[in-house]
Structure 1
């Protein structure tokens, strides 16, 4: 017999200090105190206006939850456990007035034997109470208590978050509110059994030739005793392996296995993510069993010395994988994410041609359904341990709790083929550098690290890798993100980097992206406003719905956000402060920045032996509340144009075109240099397994007239498999000689590399025989590249515009929008159009493309995921449009 009874109904709660006796109904279990209070009208929605401020008091109170349940029927010899999948966070649990558990870690599952503590069957209900103490207040107390032995340093809000093993982002981040939760955040259930299978897992190695997989299958049964266990492996319902084993006295059973010609798990875009069903059954009258879907793959992190330093890229099943993807934060401040919602998020990621998601260390170890969706869809997972931007303590009780947390979550996640790498934390080594904490890379004695001013090194370079080796031998581990083998974390030649030279630090122009790459860029990004209707859902006062209002600023937590965002906007565009126009411009800034970074860094994937950049992960995919942030998809799952910019840059075969960067904001610079420079480059990046023949077309089109100003270039190109093919390093056709100036001469032995652009001096045009530059006669042009396959099918396009766009004139674009089917729209233009955006609907209804450029003679067809109706039901905008969003086009309201 094995019975599970969920305890998800009948819960009430109250302020622990309130002796009035009033208990209020909980909205949902699992849930959180804030949503329960909101459900009962005790606080307003913290996501709206400045209501968050009216909810911060909640975190400084203790809260008690209570429910009653009948004792389950039992048989002689059976056991009844109370299982807590997640308690948030400092919880004292009592059953029928007797304390049964003290919990202090949000990330640990607890199981308590209550067989002898239950009331006899039919003798009345059992009373279960859980008291949640204030994590915020206890954290502050611990900082004071431990100040003599540890220097608590926390970026992003207060130090009190560090000693509490809880989702750190809830103390507030530069994209999220201060909403420190409490409550039952994962299921509670009663488990009655005579025996059970606690876990089933495997350790295996795929052979170098991929022809076989062999290893061991494991199961843990309870109670610990010798019993017969049957192991099975099945593929598509067909049994492919079967054996029996006897467990030892601790309850662990194992057996060796091997498969010939296994169906392997591949990342999206490189093959099918094949999976097997692994089962373990206790061979008895009841046949108690546990099954999991697993996958076999050969996974390597390639860190080899080369001429640029040391590589950092992943090789899966002998294929070098360029990892294009995004960083993931918790999708809700209150962690209310269903399995269906997780799958929708990962589907959206895959639709965007992304193949990796990084679970950031300031959040949580996500629900099983998150990783199951990644397994199914072929999304690689980079998993941080849950520490971020801090000097992590290392006193005994903290280490003991962290060890339980690590073992619990490694065991829970180790069978997921999508989870490809564990990293020790997020940016903690940057804290070490910023504050000059002790770090001698040559010192390899872990005990000495504990005595230093940076004891966190003990956690990241000793404790966690040792636990991983015990629980999941051979899994890839990286001490931190970023981490550079003892060098500065900003060193672009080794390890991974977080590239915040754009936006943070120097506020470099995003046009300099080619010079800012690293061996693996695991963070970078640009802030943008969300969907206009998302803004109106979080700022409900029409009088506050304008850029820079107090409520708008309240929903932008990025430090110095106005200075930084306006710098990028005003450098590149003529700024319009109408909300719809301003929103559109912020989104264009983000999309342009991401287009530059993804295309130029993917270009540096190069070829085997020259993997100069192994991956690019944008900060960030998602939001935890309606806000203004770096997210490329907003809280309501509406993609911003930046999402589509990434999608275009990560197509399997992607063309790129670029001009040299000439700064226009430096003092005494000649702004006409950039306008007159005729140098350009074209390349094609491919992730396909085989070389292929394509046709490349390059056009030069007047922005003013829409006419071609030079002869179109047409070339047949053999595109290198899984690498970059450099195609053109040239000047514009001789028909544009009036724009000529002194050429920049390459200094390297290779074709001219945009990485070197910032090292070149400005050429001088003002020489004898060169006509003076004239704005009246200058005819700026775009460079448009398109690549088609042998059958003429479109594979990719890219457009290079002269910078800055604010110097250009946008009159009379001649845009036409036509509904050509139930779900399709065709967009054409007589003159080049920048940043055409169709408004979208909520809840992940992504379009086939958006935020794109429109080129004369090149129709853009966009497919919706629903019927469109009449063209007048649509609204759109583009750079310089008179009918900006919300002015003359009907809005889609958020439900």
Structure 2
């Protein structure tokens, strides 16, 4: 058991706050085993869940390997029990001590017993609980106490609750409808990118707390002056104690230096102070400024002796969600400290199906990867969990904006009284935990629940503002998203914007491109449009869009145990792709754009190339629209990560291996990026006839806060010969507009008289290349790729790449422990590119690589 704090009393009246982490000594078993003293298995440590503990005891195979997902599904239909025998420190018997059992999270339906007496019934995975066991401990003379946590099957109970409410329309997009009856991570029921893996257990820490007074809650509100030259930090605390004469000290510190302090007496269990900061160091998103962080420390004392302390990290920043009428409809973008921010980023799902597998170091690695990819925002999706503190701490430190969904996804949720009560408690619990993080810039009510309402014709009369009426409709969850949650935000975190759902736009249909945010799935899903027109399909903020791709071969080999299954359409590969119709959708986008390849490495490369191309067409065009009167405020790709080794829409796989699209998006989201693009011609409806003339345009985008001066070069290079078919265009001294878009060049391609050629653009500052882009004739399958000479010369930690003809999507191997400065690059003759490699040992084999058409040469 881990201990912290001084266990000796301050005087005869008070005790300092201390806690004992109940980590070791647990055992567990299946409740069905009636012989209660047999069948107990040791638990390595808590937090833990049954799957993890069965694996540790060699009772379960890794559910991520092969078809093992099926072999673990029985666990969900059983009830389980954890137990621990523990002692209470002697100071716990002090007459003024309070003894609390604190559970930060139980998954999910739990009955907690102490010495056989039920002290807690939990029905919400997202709630923390505090159980006062003072009387039980003090009335018993024995030294050892038995703690039991019995966990009921959430699967079976959810089905029972569904049957108990036949009046409700149980409709979902993913997983079985019963999932909505239980406040458990919804992706555990199976999703179109993850396994059906119903965890159960003690998924967050358990503690024994002993004290006579404690700081129960801290709220910090920051007000910044209009000129950003001063800030006020108002801290209010709730104190739990029966002792009088308590004093609270408040300190604001930065880099170990105290900048402001205050003292207040505790009155009626509360205390507050306002601290002033002159010339505050502002917290800004990555790429827009520094991530300056402050600490506010709260010290609770009695007669000069510290009883309890609490410290929160905060940033001095003002965030605004700008929704103003304009020529298009209504804007939707974020402004931080007066600076408009284009939110290029990703959507986040839990990084593991077994949440207790994720370490703080792994969270840090994920967020570092995001920042290295020039991404500014991460959206915590509503079918997962309110993430670990380490996730938000990393976002604070590295400058990543967080879009935080509440945990509702793809369903028509019921609103019987018990559900409303637990949802309200859940919202308060998690908003209070998260609200001090400067990275969190929006709370959103749900993921796609309004789309469920639309697609199923459920009642939604936006003009009806009578909240009681909403509960009487067949879409009662409106009451949660438009009353319960916004009231919690207004009361608990008023400085953070609230949005009823994602997508949602002022009561209009969720696909309306003129207002709110939208999920654009008419590439891949829906009408399966050509990805070349992605940018024309967007709205004011594109909070979901995506294209599937296979992970790297090393990841596939991690879950395929039989070499015979290493081919593109093997049974086990299809089993690890949970997307409905993925075979047809992948085949459609491959066959429309590239020549088919049947070997697995070549097939992997093609799917990755298509994903990178599709996302580039979307991101590149939408970032261009940012500078056009803020037409598009951001784009969040679905999805950044995976929860198991799989084939999905992720741009980085379960093992943090980057797919080519990761690098493509990093280039599009660079501080200054160049875009060059021909107008789209739909070859499939014109029977593969080309227009005689195709227009093209070239533009620059910048996220810098000041105008920049650059030189631009545009070359026209034959795909087949590598020769320039006409004179290049050079423009020097081009002024790039700050935080916007600059249109630079326009022209046309003569498809009758000119060779098929690429448009190769480069941007220079002081003769150094800072950006590239290359436009290829579409579709790529019509192009001829004669043998090309691709040379990769390795000098130290750098790879020098040169070609004699244009090369499409040269992708390097993603080896564990190695980090590449770039990959998935397009190359042109006369333009050597240098790739830096970190982590490759001197005696290791060089990284392998491939490119489009390599298998034909």
TM-score by length of 1: 0.91
For residues 372 and 415 of structure 2, the distance between their equivalents in structure 1, rounded to whole angstroms, comes to: 42
Distance between the aligned counterparts of 1:693 and 1:104, measured in 2? 60
Match runs of 1:457-536 below 5 Å: 457-536=478-557
1:386 aligns to 2:361 (yes or no): no
Q: Does 1:787 align with 2:760?
A: no
Q: Does 1:374 align with 2:390?
A: no
Distance in 1 (CA, whole Å) between partners of 2:338 and 2:371 is: 22
Hey, what does 2:23 align to over in structure 1? Answer: 8
2:579 pairs with 1:605: no
**Structure 1 CA distance for aligned equivalents of residues 798 and 689 of structure 2:** 42
CA distance in 2: counterparts of 1:210 and 1:794, whole angstroms: 36
Moved more, 177-186 or 121-130: 121-130
Q: Does 1:651 find its partner at 2:651?
A: no
Which residue in the other structure is 2:813 paired with? Answer: 839
Counterpart in the other structure of 2:6: none
Hey, what does 1:195 align to over in structure 2? 213
Q: CA deviation at 1:286?
A: 2.7
Structure 1, 152-161 or 252-261: larger mean CA deviation: 252-261
TM superposition shift of 1:842: 2.9
Aligned residues of 2:212 and 2:243 also touching (Cα < 8 A): no
How much has 1:151 moved relative to structure 2?
1.4
| Of 264, 272, 283, the match for 1:245 | 264
SS at match of 2:726: coil
Structure 1 match to 2:705: 689
In structure 2, what is the equivalent of residue 34 of structure 1? 51
Instruction: Say which of 543, 557, 561 aligns to 1:540.
Output: 561
The one of 275, 297, 317 aligned to 2:317? 297
- State the alpha-carbon separation in 1 of the partners of residues 476 and 270 from structure 2: 35
Quick one: distance in 1 between partners of 2:452 and 2:139?
A: 56
Residue deviations 1:380-406 (CA, integer Å, cap 9, x gap): 000000000001111100000001100
Q: CA deviation at 1:531?
A: 1.2
Q: Deviations over 1:761-785 (max 9, x none)?
A: xxxxxxxxxxxx5xxx862110010
Of 683, 707, 720, 1:704 maps to 720
Instruction: Please name the residue that 1:204 is paired with.
Output: 222
Q: What CA deviation, in whole Å up to 9, does each residue of 1:849-873 have, x standing for no partner?
A: 0111111111111111213536953
Tell me if structure 1 keeps the 8 A contact 2:24–2:44: no
Instruction: Give the equivalent residue in structure 2 for 1:855.
Output: 828
1:328 maps onto 2:324 in alignment: no
Whether 1:881 and 2:850 are equivalent positions in the alignment is: no
Counterpart for residue 804 of structure 1: 779
Is 1:429 aligned with 2:446? no
In the TM superposition, residue 801 of structure 1 has moved relative to its aligned partner by 0.3
Q: Provide the residue aligned with 1:166 in structure 2.
A: 184
Shift of 1:555: 0.2
Would you say the 8 A contact 2:214–2:307 is kept in 1?
A: no
Say which of 722, 743, 747 aligns to 1:730.
747
Equivalences for 1:127-138 in 2 at 5 Å? 127-138=146-157
Question: Counterpart of 1:412?
Answer: 433
- Distance in 1, matches of 2:537 and 2:606, equals 24
Q: Match of 2:790?
A: 815
Asked if the contact 2:347–2:640 (Cα under 8 Å) also holds between the matched residues in 1, the reply is yes
Partner residue of 2:731?
A: 715
Q: What is the alpha-carbon distance in structure 1 between the residues aligned to residue 455 and residue 819 of structure 2?
A: 41
CA deviation map 1:305-329 (0-9, x unaligned):
1111110000100000000100000
Match for residue 695 of structure 2 among 639, 661, 679: 679
Deviation at residue 236 of structure 1 after TM alignment = 1.2
Name the residue aligned to 1:264.
282
**In structure 2, distance between residues paired with 1:800 and 1:187:** 53
Cα contact 2:77–2:153 (8 A) shared by 1: yes
2:127 alignment partner in structure 1: 108
Per the alignment, residue 385 of structure 2 pairs with: 364
| Equivalent-residue separation in structure 1 for 2:218 and 2:768 (angstroms) | 47
Residues 513-554 of structure 1 show CA distances to partners (whole Å, capped at 9, x for unaligned) of: 121111000000000000101011111111111111111100
Q: Which of 183, 189, 194 is the equivalent residue of 2:201?
A: 183
Q: CA deviation at 1:216?
A: 1.8
- Structure 2 residue matching 1:710: 3-state secondary structure: strand
Over 3 Å counting, the alpha-carbon distance change for 1:442 and 1:224 in structure 2 is farther
Render the CA deviation track for 1:51-95: whole Å, top value 9, x for unaligned: 101111100000001111111221331111111011000000011
Stretch of structure 1 that moved more, 350-359 or 8-17: 8-17
Hey, what does 1:310 align to over in structure 2?
330
Residues in 2 aligned to 1:656 and 1:526: alpha-carbon distance in whole angstroms: 21
Is the partner of 2:742 in helix, strand or coil? strand
> Contact between 2:602 and 2:855, CA under 8 Å: does it hold in 1?
no
Contact 1:410 1:472 in 2 (8 A): yes
Q: Does 1:24 align with 2:44?
A: no
- Superposed displacement of residue 730, structure 1: 1.4
Taking structure 2 as the reference length, what is the TM-score of the superposition? 0.95
Listed as ranges, the gaps of 5+ residues in structure 2 are 1-15
Partner of 1:588: 609
User: 2:256 and 2:318 mapped to 1: Cα distance?
Assistant: 24
Aligned counterparts of 1:601 and 1:523: Cα–Cα separation in 2: 13
1:872 & 1:339 partners in 2: Cα distance?
Answer: 32
Distance 1:662 1:274 in 2: 48
Hey, what's the Cα distance between the residues in 2 that align with 1:633 and 1:225? 53
Q: Secondary structure at the match of 1:709?
A: strand
Cα distance in structure 1, aligned partners of 2:561 and 2:844: 29
Report the 3-state secondary structure (helix = DSSP H, G, I; strand = E; otherwise coil) of the residue aligned with 1:153: coil
CA displacement, residues 288-315 of structure 1 (integer Å, 9 cap, x when unaligned):
2111111111111111111111100001
Q: Secondary structure at the match of 2:489?
A: helix
Partner of 1:770: none
Q: What is the Cα deviation at residue 246 of structure 1?
A: 1.8
Is the partner of 2:412 in helix, strand or coil?
coil
- The alignment status of 1:152 with 2:194, answered yes or no, reads no
Q: Distance in 2 between matches of 1:557 and 1:706?
A: 42
Mapped partners of 2:361, 2:23: distance in 1: 19
The match for 2:11 is none
Distance across 2 between alignment mates of 1:818 and 1:781: 26
Matches of 2:573 and 2:835 in 1, distance apart? Answer: 32
Separation in structure 1 between the aligned mates of residue 846 and residue 744 of structure 2, nearest angstrom:
43
8 Å Cα contact 1:877/1:883 also seen in 2:
no
Q: Structure 2 CA distance, aligned partners of 1:183 and 1:287?
A: 33
CA distance in 1: counterparts of 2:533 and 2:456, whole angstroms: 29
Counterpart-to-counterpart distance in 2, 1:73 and 1:305: 65
SS at match of 2:191: coil
The residue aligned with 2:10 is none
The partner residue of 1:826 within 793, 800, 822 is 800
Q: Secondary structure at the match of 2:460?
A: coil
Q: Distance in 2 between matches of 1:780 and 1:702?
A: 6
- Count of aligned pairs between the two proteins: 833
- The equivalent residue for 1:574 is 595
Q: Secondary structure at the match of 2:724?
A: coil
Question: 1:225: Cα distance to partner?
Answer: 5.8
1:232-290 CA-to-partner distances (Å, cap 9, x unmatched) read 101111111111112222x2211223222111110100111111110111122234211
Counterpart secondary structure, 2:535 = helix
Unaligned runs of 5+ in 1: 733-738, 741-772, 885-895
